[in-house]
Amino acid sequence: MRIYIIGNDGITLCREPPAAVSKGEIVVASTEELHAAPLSGKRLLALWNALPGVEKRRKVGDRAALIDQLWSWSHAVGHRFVKGLFAGAVPDAVMARYLIQDHRFLDSFLTLLGAVLASADTFAARLRFGRFIGMVSSEENTYFLRAFEALGVTEDRRAADPDTQPTAGFQAIMREAAETRSYAGALSVLVVAEWLYLDWASRAPKPLPDNFVHAEWITLHDNLGFRGFVDFLRAELDRVGPAQADLCRDFFRRAVALELSFFEAAYAE
């Protein structure tokens, strides 16, 4: 059971109901309870804007939609898959299913990155995306191949496993964002995909697990180069996003929901 304590400066995940709460704190255990919580618009905005990597808001807008996004982001970075990864305790069968699906949409991810590179409005940005595409095509892809070998996942198994619904959803939203030819729209999906992973990976306790399948998946998403790239993505979205705010908000909302469901799908038999 997951319990979230909403304080004045953020949201804390607990495994058990707290024995006591401080003044002003609110305890919730479901989206329904979060929707019913007595949160002012000002406090709701502060909670959202305190999340690492999210698109900063000045207005609540659709309150119900914002609460759903707040829950999805918090739930994703505190998901049982993430906790198991930190402890080196994700079962091999779950890790295999997760990595097969993650590798499955690498092609769509490269398509999205290509669209961002092509639609970027500065030479410096295009250089930055070009270097990142090279990393994904080499270092990250090599990790997948080594992990598959360690987990006993054959090429036949990788080809035979059907796409899960979240994988199909990610492939679709990445293609959709690429086809808009909108730099801001494509950035919105990319920011969620990369920053949410940095958010959970940066919380990993030391030492990391002995198993490289777990440890390297963490370090691939928490290193100096990746942090710098995510900072760059955030700055770019802050710069170009306001001109297409509705488009960016829609892509961002849907991408956050897909991230949460992607973690959960790994546990489906």
Residue 226 scores a pLDDT above 60: yes
Cβ neighbours around 229 below 10 Å, total = 20
Residue 9 scores a pLDDT above 70: no
Domains of the chain (ranges; CATH) run 3-76 (no CATH), 86-265 (1.20.910.10)
Confidence grade of residue 176 (pLDDT, cut at 50, 70, 90): very high
Q: Across the chain, what does the average pLDDT equal?
A: 85
Burial class (CB in 10 A: 0-12, 13-18, 19+), 221: buried
Proportion of the chain above pLDDT 90, given as a percent: 47
Report the range of poorest mean pLDDT among 26-30, 103-107, 120-124, 162-166.
Answer: 26-30
Please state the rounded mean pLDDT for residues 142-164.
95
**Alpha carbons 225 and 227: distance in angstroms, whole number:** 5
pLDDT on residue 58: 79
pLDDT on residue 15: 54
Q: What angle do CA 38, 42, 44 make, to 5 degrees?
A: 60
**Alpha carbons 88 and 108: distance in angstroms, whole number:** 29
Residue 20 scores a pLDDT above 80: no
**Alpha carbons 184 and 197: distance in angstroms, whole number:** 20
Query: 12 phi and psi, to 5 degrees?
Result: -115, 135
Cβ neighbours around 55 below 10 Å, total = 24
Put simply, whether the predicted model's pTM sits higher than 0.85 gets the answer no
pLDDT on residue 252: 84
pLDDT digits (tens, 9 = 90+) for 97-118: 999 999 988 888 999 999 999 9
pLDDT on residue 229: 94
Whole-number Cα distances in Å, 263 to 72, 75, 125, 227, 260: 11, 10, 30, 22, 6
Cβ neighbours around 260 below 10 Å, total = 19
Confidence grade of residue 79 (pLDDT, cut at 50, 70, 90): confident
Residue 13 scores a pLDDT above 80: no
Whole-number Cα distances in Å, 117 to 190, 237, 240: 12, 14, 14
Range with the largest mean pLDDT of 38-42, 170-174, 196-200: 170-174
Residue 246 scores a pLDDT above 80: yes
pLDDT on residue 44: 80
What is the residue-wise DSSP string for 202-218? TTPPSSPPSSHHHHHHH
pLDDT on residue 76: 66
Please state the rounded mean pLDDT for residues 234-243.
89
pLDDT on residue 2: 58
Q: Are 220 and 136 a contacting pair, CB within 8 Å? A: no
pLDDT on residue 195: 85
Residue 52 scores a pLDDT above 70: no
If one compares 57 and 142, the residue with the highest pLDDT of the two is 142
